[in-house]
Amino acid sequence: MKIICIGRNYAEHAKELNNAVPAEPVFFMKPDTALLIRNRPFYYPEFTSDLHYECELVLRICKLGRHISEKFAHTYYDAIGIGIDFTARDLQQKAKEKGLPWEKAKSFDFSAPVSRFVPVSEFKDLNNIRFSLQLNGQTVQEGNSRDMIFSFDAIISYISKFVTLRTGDYVFTGTPAGVGPVKIGDKLEAYLESQKLLNFEIK
């Protein structure tokens, strides 16, 4: 499986990192070795000193597809979870300055903690899903899918023009404002609506 991540999908977050609001989706990928599941602890890597959390809604792909039209995109994902797009901000900044790819900063081992998934049928309105992240008990990020620049369906349609989506792939849909650093000993808890789905420690 693969993990596809959308960047800059919330205007307030694009602003906080001094990025322009994009005219079309920006995406990058993490390999399957980036997955961290079952609330296992995350071990702070030695190659960064500025590791940031980015809390995001995650779609689970349920059908093979390419060149998917926006109209039918909703039939290609069947569940939503919550994930953290861990980012070595110092390495990403260096890569950006040199115009180099982001993989070292974004795609390293265990850089994608993902919760269990909730079936799409359990949500009343996919364009109004609340989620939030707490760092050591303090809320640091609050988002709602209605604030996305590109909707779930627009994202699926766009990605599938370039990359075939397969059953079991995950799509990270972008982070709202409030990203920041973590340190060893921190506790992260993420909520999808009122359900706590992520709860793990930085070691």
Report the distance separating Cα 160 and Cα 164, nearest Å.
6
Binding segment for Mg ion (CB under 5 A), chosen from 50-58, 62-70, 88-96, 154-162, is 50-58
Question: For Mg ion, which stretch binds (CB under 5 A), given 8-16, 32-40, 44-52, 78-86?
Answer: 78-86
Which residue lies nearest Mg ion, judged by its C-beta?
Answer: 85
Binding status of residue 54 toward Mg ion by CB under 5 A: yes
Listed ranges 12-20, 34-42, 46-54, 141-149: which one lies at the site for Mg ion (CB under 5 A): 46-54
Nearest CA to 142 out of 182, 176, 172, 188 is that of 176
85 binds Mg ion (CB under 5 A): yes
In the complex with Mg ion, which residue's Cβ is closer, 13 or 60?
13
Segment contacting Mg ion by CB under 5 A, of 33-41, 44-52, 54-62, 117-125: 54-62
Q: Is 153 in the site for Mg ion (CB under 5 A)?
A: no
Q: What is the 3-state secondary structure (H, E, C) of the chain?
A: CCEEEEECCEHHHHHHCCCCCCCCCEEEEECHHHEECCCCCECCCCCCCCEEECEEEEEEECCCECCCCHHHHHHHEEEEEEEECCEEHHHHHHHHHHCCCCHHHHCCCCCEEECCCEEHHHCCCCCCCEEEEEECCEEEEEEEHHHECCCHHHHHHHHCCCCCECCCCEEECCCCCCCEECCCCCEEEEEECCEEEEEEEEC
- What's the min distance (Å) between Cβ of 138 and Mg ion? 21
Position among 145, 157, 160, 175 found at the interface with Mg ion (CB under 5 A): 175
In whole angstroms, how close is the CB of 159 to Mg ion at the nearest point?
A: 14
Residues 6 or more apart from 85 whose CB is under 8 A from it? Answer: 5, 30, 54, 56, 106, 111, 112, 172, 175
Q: How far is the CB of 24 from Mg ion (least distance, A)?
A: 17
In the bound complex, what is the minimum distance in angstroms from residue 183's beta carbon to Mg ion? 20
Least distance to Mg ion, CB of residue 133, Å: 12
Nearer to Mg ion, 26 or 79 (CB): 26
Q: How far is the CB of 88 from Mg ion (least distance, A)?
A: 12
Which residues form the interface with Mg ion (CB under 5 A)?
A: 54, 85, 175
